[in-house]
Structure 1
């Protein structure tokens, strides 16, 4: 299993999440990663992946947009400040940083932050609580991932199956299935 280089580990599990864009002095601030650190983490991860597996297609996905009204109605923790734990402006800064790292690294990026906002009513169509995707949001991201994989010359039909399919797993003894 791949682990990021020490320089990218920062605060443990603080990598590659929309939570990195939380605003530091608000209720979810403990999840916040400073923008420059986020950028350096992404660079280190991309560099490590390209070095270890040079033929692997790496695709970055930006943080999604934020529906601040939805975040106020569905806070992570009880919060009486009247301020959302994250803003669309802040998420946009992280999305732009992600895009810049992808460009510098010569890899694809799915700018889901911008893509979702192209649709009227995106706030409720794609986000159920101001952050997490609805079925429609998941579908849009899925379609973008499939399109990006196609650009890399990959498809479900062309990828080798190297793990058992779900229906082939012995439910009574799952580990036995993976020994084959």
Structure 2
């Protein structure tokens, strides 16, 4: 039935996107988005653990080739959420697979946004969040380093680069770094000082990034709220409340004539 072909909302990113289905404790990011857009858009997870913006730039054309229809009008929204792996600076061979300098990262984001726009897709760039750098060092026990594997100052540089790309193209941006900072009530300098190489007097970031990198349910909830806020502000026509549901409300069905009432007019026109 052509009328039951749903338009799409693609979540594209690294492990933080990939793992966004599996959180417990009352909140999970992707299911929350799918719940919001139920009977309106299909929410598709295209998260790839460990991947950076170099990889993403190569993958995105293939994802769109697989998901777009011939009219290129069925993918409505696309998050582009990379930067965490790009920012790592661990002194080992593995780092060559992950680390991407900030100017190249910016170039990659620019290319992906241009590709989305060329295919009638509304992109949302999501900047990287903060890290608990002490826990990051423990997380990478198989990759010891004498310096911080990443710093919150470096992550802010990547976040600002992502913000610049969004501003250049006038597309939506989610400032995850500052959303977390504001939630915790920290100053930028306090987060800069949390390098993992000494004691940090403010405390821990465990409630947001339990292993130092990946998000807790609370962090995903903050991200969810900021994402929906960005969509509503930048693409109000894609606000969930403004999109029609597939199929008629069940109380409107005529038990003597299902065929004529089961589809909304918009469903029949698709």
Equivalent residues, number: 153
1:44 aligns with 2:111: yes
- After alignment, is 117-126 or 40-49 more displaced? 117-126
Residue 135 of structure 2 corresponds to: 70
Partner of 2:170: 106
Q: Does 1:12 align with 2:55?
A: yes
- How far apart are 1:28 and its partner, in Å? 5.3
Matches of 1:104 and 1:86 in 2, distance apart? 27
- Give 1:14 deviation, angstroms: 7.0
- Structure 1: segments with no counterpart, 5+ residues: 3-8, 163-180
Residue 84 (structure 1) aligned to one of 148, 166, 182:
148
Q: CA offsets, 1:90-128, max 9 Å, x none? A: 111111100011111111211101110111467222111
Distance 1:148 1:122 in 2: 28
Moved >3 Å (runs of 4+): 9-16, 24-28, 159-162
Whole-Å separation in 1 of the counterparts to 2:213 and 2:179: 15
- Structure having the higher strand fraction is 2
User: TM (normalized to structure 2)?
Assistant: 0.50
How far apart, CA to CA, are the structure 1 residues paired with 2:87 and 2:147?
15
- Equivalents in 2 of 1:117, 1:27: separation in Å? 32
Larger radius of gyration: 2
Structure 2 residue ranges without an equivalent (≥5): 1-9, 11-51, 59-80, 186-202, 247-270
So what's the TM-score if we normalise by structure 1?
A: 0.73
**Aligned 1:88-167 pairs, distance under 5 A:** 88-118=152-182, 119-120=184-185, 123-151=205-233, 152-153=235-236, 154-160=238-244
Q: Please list the CA deviations of residues 146-171 of structure 1 after superposition, one character each: whole Å capped at 9, or x if unmatched.
A: 11121121332333567xxxxxxxxx
